[in-house]
Amino acid sequence: LNKRLAQNGITLTTDALEFMAQSYEGNLFAAAQCIKKLLNIKASSALTLEQIKPFIESNNSFTTFELTN
């Protein structure tokens, strides 16, 4: 994940990278889509958790309760 981010010129803070890795664990396709969205953020330094969280949370469309139904 970190390698793919770097290939796209994106740097994340440690907590942001950990959150992204946990959110997309086992789903590299969804992670790649998120990286494309993150390209729209113009940042001069590493992106923080607060900056990336809206992009990641918008992809998580099911809650635990919805999956059990």
CB–CB of 32/58 below 8 Å? no
Q: Which helix (H) or strand (E) holds 32?
A: helix 28-38
pLDDT at residue 64 is higher than 80: no
pLDDT value for 62: 52
Instruction: At 67, list the tokens.
Output: 């999956």
* Residue 53: exposure state from Cβ atoms within 10 A (0-12, 13-18, ≥19): middle
pLDDT value for 44: 86
Interval 16-42: pLDDT, tens: 999 999 999 989 899 999 999 999 888
